[in-house]
């Protein structure tokens, strides 16, 4: 039986796709490679958003070449956004790659690998449009208790810094019934938390003309028995409407957490980015979310050094960050991506200026996050025990969990050890900028179906399984193939 390894770069959609790639390979007879072995097949699922994505991929491919030369029959496949962008360039720069496939045809991977092996030549297959939603393909889920559920693929926005619409295509929406069928199937497998996923989730419904579709979908998830936590990522401020806020506040299993990209606090820069909102609208959304859900934790994305950004523009970003009180933020130094309008704009900001501004922004974000985390000290929080985030350190033997607002908490379990997927209640005793700590023994432990599912995986066994960090035996979720509408 041939073995495989999938290496994932990029966003949550890439992670979602990688679970499908693993499921497809296992359905075709492959098995995960043990940690201490050389896989027969290595699959790179790539991202093209950052400037160093190319260097990272080709660096990894270069490191694998001597391994492949020394391992008869070994194959290398490259998929994802960078493959969609570079196409034949990958096999030109790395002729030892066997398969290149795009974002629209991940289901072709097993066939392409077999064709490359039989024909003894590289196979490159890049489709221009999606034929089958990735969510309908079999999956090897890495978590027994939490799952991604894609509600749409692609994006209709034209942000000048972003290459994703060119690589993922225009937005395609799944029908609500198909989404809920997947959610119900996941819950039947033991999942108690789902994250609804899309490049712009709150534009969901645009393809079939229902502007209330996303709010209705959140409410419908509230009717799924056994589903305890619902999250979503990422929304766009342009499409964020009050009915979504109401659905979040009124649906008990929709968690009080929101990741809403800001990108810049300067209206002038937002216009240059083609972000169709301004800072006052953004702050207005945050005010309404907090009015409806006072305990909501809000996170964001911010780009520093977009072409033409002046010191007053940057100060406007700092002002919005100060007013927004983010619990955390993903901050990025702008990097030009070939094929985007921003890459050819005048007034590119000098790298040393970008770095200095980035440092100032990071310090402000961390300071605010720490202040907000300190407000959690003394509170009793209900945590979903995490798999893969593991123990904080060997000395304290703390475990980790996620609060309803998605804050990470390291806690002391006491004599009775909860399982990943179980739910514990603990009191926060200490706050750091990026996590909370509870050094008091948990007050309650609730065993869940998700914990049972995790335990069943461990009993079933899996190559490379090692307790908290292990995926355990694969859970293959096969749903009927649903063709994408034209």
Q: Write the DSSP string, 316-347.
A: HHHHHHHHHT-SEEEEEE----TTSGGGG-S-
pLDDT at 464: 32
**Contact of 391 with 398, CB cutoff 8 Å:** yes
Q: What angle do CA 298, 301, 302 make, to 5 degrees?
A: 125
**Contact of 19 with 142, CB cutoff 8 Å:** yes
Q: CATH 3.40.50.12160 region(s) of the chain?
A: 3-125
| Rounded distance between C-alpha atoms, residue 420 and residue 400, angstroms | 9
Per-residue pLDDT of the chain (486 residues; tens, 9 = 90+): 899 999 988 778 888 889 999 999 999 999 999 988 999 999 999 887 766 777 788 899 999 999 999 999 999 999 988 888 888 889 999 999 999 998 888 899 999 999 999 999 999 998 887 777 777 788 888 899 999 999 998 889 989 998 777 777 888 899 999 999 999 999 999 999 999 998 899 999 988 889 999 999 999 999 999 999 999 998 999 999 999 999 999 999 999 999 999 999 999 999 999 999 999 999 999 999 999 999 999 999 999 999 999 999 999 999 999 999 999 999 999 988 878 899 999 999 999 999 999 999 999 999 999 999 999 999 999 999 997 664 555 667 789 999 999 999 999 987 888 999 999 999 999 999 999 999 999 999 999 999 999 999 888 864 333 322 223 333 333 333 333 332
pLDDT at 475: 38
Largest pairwise CA distance in the chain: 65
Which residues is 399 bridged to in the sheet?
411
pLDDT at 480: 33
| Rounded distance between C-alpha atoms, residue 244 and residue 292, angstroms | 11
pLDDT at 336: 85
Q: How does DSSP classify residue 423?
A: E
| Rounded distance between C-alpha atoms, residue 82 and residue 12, angstroms | 15
pLDDT at 444: 94
Question: φ, ψ for residue 102 (rounded to 5)?
Answer: -100, -170
3-state helix, strand, coil in the chain (%, to 5): 35, 20, 40
β-strand pairing of 328-333 with 297-304: parallel
Residue 395 to residues 391, 392, 399, 412, 415: CA-CA distances in angstroms?
Answer: 10, 9, 12, 11, 16
380-450: CATH, from 2.40.50, 1.10.101, 3.30.200, 2.40.360 = 2.40.50
Crossing angle for the helix pair 109-119 and 12-27, to the nearest 10 degrees: 60
pLDDT at 339: 81
pLDDT at 485: 33
Q: CATH 2.40.50 region(s) of the chain?
A: 380-450
**Contact of 98 with 122, CB cutoff 8 Å:** yes
**Contact of 176 with 218, CB cutoff 8 Å:** no
Q: CATH 3.80.30.20 region(s) of the chain?
A: 134-374
Give, for 401, the enclosing helix (H) or strand (E): strand 399-402
Question: Which residue, chain included where needed, has tokens 């702050």?
Answer: 283
Contacts of 277 (CB under 8 A, 6+ apart): 237, 238, 270
Q: What CATH class is the domain 3-125?
A: alpha beta
Q: For the domain 134-374, what is the CATH code?
A: 3.80.30.20
Which residues is 110 bridged to in the sheet?
none
| Rounded distance between C-alpha atoms, residue 116 and residue 101, angstroms | 12
| Rounded distance between C-alpha atoms, residue 346 and residue 69, angstroms | 46
Taken in order 139, 206, 269, 324, the sign of the CA dihedral is: negative
């Amino acid at each position: 039986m041939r073995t495989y390894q999938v290496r994932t770069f990029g966003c949550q959609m890439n992670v979602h796709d990688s679970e499908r790639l693993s499921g497809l390979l296992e359905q075709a007879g492959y098995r995960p490679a043990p940690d201490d072995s050389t896989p027969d097949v290595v699959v790179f699922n790539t991202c093209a958003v950052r400037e160093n994505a190319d260097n990272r991929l080709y660096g990894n491919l270069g490191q694998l070449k001597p391994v492949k030369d020394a391992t008869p029959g070994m194959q290398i496949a490259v998929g994802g956004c960078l493959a969609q962008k570079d196409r034949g360039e990958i096999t030109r720069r790395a002729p030892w790659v066997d398969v290149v496939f795009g974002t629209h045809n991940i289901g072709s991977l097993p066939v392409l690998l077999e064709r490359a092996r039989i024909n003894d030549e590289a196979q490159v297959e890049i489709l221009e449009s999606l034929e089958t939603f990735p969510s309908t393909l079999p999956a090897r889920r890495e978590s027994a208790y939490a799952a991604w559920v894609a509600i749409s693929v692609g994006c209709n926005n034209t942000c000048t810094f972003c290459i994703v619409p060119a690589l993922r295509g225009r937005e395609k929406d799944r029908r609500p019934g198909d989404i809920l069928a997947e959610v119900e199937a996941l819950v039947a497998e033991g999942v108690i938390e789902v994250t609804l996923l899309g490049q712009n989730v709150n534009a969901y419904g645009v393809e079939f003309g229902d502007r209330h579709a996303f709010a209705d979908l959140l409410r419908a998830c509230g009717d799924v028995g056994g589903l305890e936590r619902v999250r979503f990522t990422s929304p766009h401020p342009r499409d964020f409407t009050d009915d979504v806020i109401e659905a979040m506040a009124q649906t008990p299993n929709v968690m009080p957490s929101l990741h809403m990209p800001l990108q810049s606090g300067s209206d002038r820069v937002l216009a240059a980015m083609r972000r169709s909102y301004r800072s006052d609208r953004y702050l207005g959304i945050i005010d309404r979310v907090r009015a409806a859900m006072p305990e909501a934790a809000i996170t964001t994305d911010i780009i520093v050094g977009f072409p033409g950004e002046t010191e007053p523009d940057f100060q406007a970003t700092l002002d919005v960050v100060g007013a927004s009180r983010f619990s955390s933020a993903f901050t990025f130094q702008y990097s030009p991506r070939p094929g985007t309008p921003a890459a050819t704009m005048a007034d590119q900001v000098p790298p040393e200026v970008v770095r200095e501004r980035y440092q100032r922004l990071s310090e402000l974000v961390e300071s605010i996050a720490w202040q907000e985390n300190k407000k959690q000290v003394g509170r009793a929080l209900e945590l979903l025990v995490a798999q893969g985030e593991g123990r904080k350190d060997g000395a304290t033997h703390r475990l980790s969990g996620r609060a309803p607002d998605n804050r990470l908490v390291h806690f002391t379990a006491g004599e009775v050890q909860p399982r990943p997927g179980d739910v514990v209640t603990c009191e926060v005793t200490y706050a750091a900028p990026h996590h909370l700590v509870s050094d008091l023994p948990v007050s309650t432990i609730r065993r869940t179906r998700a914990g049972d599912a995790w335990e069943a995986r461990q009993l079933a066994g899996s190559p490379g399984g090692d307790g908290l960090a292990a995926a355990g035996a694969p859970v293959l979720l096969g749903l009927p193939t649903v063709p994408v509408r034209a």
